[in-house]
Amino acid sequence: MKRFSPGFGIVTLCCLLLPAWGAAGPPSAADTGAGALIQASRELLLEGETLIRAGDPEGAREHFDRAVDMLLDSEWDLTAHPEIAAYFQDLIGEIKEAESRYLYVSVEFDEEAESVEEYGDLDLGAMTDDPVLREALTASIAEHRYDIPIAVNELVIHSIQHWLQRGRKPFEEGLVRSGQYREMIETIFGEEGIPLDLINLAQVESHFKAHALSRTRARGIWQFMEGTAVRYGLKVNRYVDERSDPEKATRAAARYLKDLYAMFGDWNLALAGYNWGEGKVKRLIESTGIRDFWELAKLDRKLPKETRNHIPLIHASVILARNAEKYGLPVELSPPLRYQKVGVSKPIDLRAAARALEVTFDELRRLNPSLKGVTTPPDYPGFELRVPEETVADAGTRIAALPRARVDQGHRVRRGETLSAIARRYKTTVHELMQANNLRSANRIREGQMLRVPSDGSGGGEEASAASGGERRHRVRRGETLSGIAVRYGTTVQALMQANNLSSRSMIRAGAWLRVPPARRSRG
């Protein structure tokens, strides 16, 4: 778990400014270097911020992605260039700030975030050694062939005591929960060449909770910090957080671990880098000349207690998982999650998808923990929705037939703007804006206020456009009055009567279509 400021290494960066970076074209040889790379990325960031303020989230997102990709696709060694590493961290933070300030998510599920166990306050050294346990552990080591070198020392013994005593409940829950993901993780680790025993890293990080969130905002079963997640190809934005996608995050974790091992040539040091940051571990090794984790752990105040505890807890988890029955731990694990993937080329509502597939909404949410709201993400043509394996045979056809979901965006009110002008800009209605923002009066908006904007302006299906001229029409519902309809569309009763040739004695009936004139200008 990255519980400290994220370390940036492995991923390499270069300064080859591609033609797509901007109208200025590629730089001259004199301009190449870290500074030129940062400047080019920064220009894209600023352009993106300008676009998002102007109400163009799609254009902004394209520029943000290019600003990040420019760094990720280059050949600079981040650990050798602290300036680029610091800028990358700032870049991710600024993009997140811009999106959170100017955009909205229709519905979020913050209540699903689960706390994780923190190990910084755990004092393994103060625990009493158990000679009987040491002897049993030595025998256990001899009985199995482990995928990584397993140590039996004081810290590992005390870690086992922790898991069997104070930490037993979360350990047992995590062990059982691991059954949902173990098969998938073993497959990916096998493909990436990662020792299978390192599945227990997720036990220590999160106890296999997909929605685990640490106090430093690391997330998912592998507890990625946002910067590291983006480096390894995970999407983190206002619609999805793929750190909570067990399968995608596992692939990213495997590649990160492989890079860490390539850097250190030792799994204990690689795991220390995963927890503390590879750059910090590398500098500690360079300053001390020590390349053995257990020796580094003896250095007072050189290695954080969190990291000093992290590695022996992983060793202990490996031993206990391999000898669960011997130590009275659960041997019956949760069954593996079974699902099929359906490509989704547009945002769809999960509630509508659940009805179409004849499954429950909760089941879709459980299979797609990376989704932040009730819709699949826009501008993500390669997104795959996970649906139950035993669902309808034509799942793909049914999903493709679903209408495009409403995905709210945001608008910050400028000086002199009116609600009717904002409604026209986004092709919605004053009534829809008032409903979406709980406004009692169309005149009660102020400069700087953030408004939620329904993106499609459909008016709940009762408003439509005529075949020619784009004129708005409204189908009258039972109990509606002209005054109510006028308020909804920001117009007047008189304007409605004129547009529809109605007199003061005319009656409107349910099901009739009315022409809706343009919204009047508000004096607010």
Q: What is the DSSP string of 169-225?
A: HHHHHHHHHGGGTHHHHHHHHHHHT--GGGGHHHHHHHTT-TTBB-TT--BTTTTB-
Domains of the chain: 19-104 (no CATH), 111-322 (1.10.530.10), 339-400 (no CATH), 409-516 (3.10.350.10)
Q: What is the pLDDT of residue 511?
A: 64
Q: What is the pLDDT of residue 103?
A: 56
Q: What is the pLDDT along the chain (524 residues), one digit of tens a residue?
A: 554 443 333 333 333 323 333 333 444 333 457 888 899 999 999 988 888 776 677 678 788 888 888 887 787 766 567 788 888 878 887 887 777 666 544 444 444 678 888 887 888 877 887 777 877 777 777 778 899 999 989 999 999 999 999 999 999 999 999 999 999 999 999 999 999 999 999 999 999 999 999 999 999 999 999 999 999 999 998 789 999 999 999 999 999 999 999 999 999 999 999 999 999 999 999 999 999 999 999 997 899 999 999 999 999 999 999 999 999 999 999 999 999 999 999 999 998 999 999 999 999 999 999 998 889 998 898 899 999 999 989 999 999 999 888 776 778 888 889 998 888 887 778 887 887 777 878 887 888 787 877 654 333 334 433 333 345 777 777 667 787 787 777 788 888 888 887 877 677 776 677 888 876 544 44
Rounded CA gap, 256 and 329, in Å? 30
SS (H, E, C) 217-274: CCECCCCECHHHHHHCCCCECCCEEHHHCHHHHHHHHHHHHHHHHHHHCCHHHHHHHH
Q: What is the pLDDT of residue 494?
A: 84
Q: What is the pLDDT of residue 287?
A: 95
Q: What three-state secondary structure class fits 116?
A: coil
Q: What is the pLDDT of residue 478?
A: 65
H helices present in 326-418, as ranges: 350-357, 361-367, 395-400
Rounded CA gap, 14 and 451, in Å? 40
218 close to 1: Cβ distance less than 8 angstroms: yes
The number of C-alpha atoms within 13 Å of 424 and in the hemisphere containing its C-beta is 13
H helices present in 358-406, as ranges: 361-367, 395-400
Match 């041997």 to its residue by tokens: 331
Q: Amino acid letter at 476?
A: V
Element (H, E) at 488: helix 482-489
Match 């000093």 to its residue by tokens: 308
Q: What is the pLDDT of residue 320?
A: 96
Pick from 146, 166, 162: which is nearest to 154 by CA? 162
